[in-house]
Amino acid sequence: TLMKSIGSRYYYNALGQELTGLFWAYGRALGKQYKYAIPDEHNCDMFVGIGWNGMVSHQLPRAPLFLREFAKNPDKLLVIIDPRKTETAGIADIHLAVKPGTDALLTKAMISMVIDEGWTDDEYIRDHVSGYDEIKGWFAGFDARAAVEFCGLDYEQVREVCRQLRLRKACCHPDLGVYMNRHSTLTLYLEIILFAIT
């Protein structure tokens, strides 16, 4: 009624500025835009925060306490991908200080490494993933080493993170550092692929 009375056909909400790419990517990956992954931090042994400073922004119950306990646990691995040495990066086991704006390139490099090294979870892909064979070619022949170096990171450290993604039960927590960054939708889509195939 309001839209008709003011003569407008346009309606804006918060999704016009943030999280639009997130819902699009999960819509493509899971079939419905309202279905999206929530990090299962209590049932993982590898927690990957991307563009997220949970010690300050929280978004998890008792986030600072949880993150400190997780980081101190020798059986768990906390990985933070963020250009800045945030409070969360400061307690992480591994901090990948990616060059700002290169998250999509880094994620493509990581997918390429996982495929080249044979670290894909083929049983999971067979039972739960469709369309993998169609997109696998996107990563064939990709120079992951050059991409990682362009991102300002150590190749062997990124390679180890990829290996751990295959060995451990991992969850991912992207945040505004991805959602509001360059190539955010592409980055999110690639992150979904990376976690699905490992």
**Span 85-135, pLDDT tens digits:** 999 999 999 999 999 999 999 999 999 999 999 999 999 999 999 999 999
pTM: 0.89
The CA distance from 46 to 198, in Å, is 12
Tens digit of each residue's pLDDT (9 = 90 or more) over 140-195: 999 999 999 999 999 999 999 999 999 999 999 999 889 888 899 999 999 999 99
Q: Which two tokens stand for residue 6?
A: 């003011």
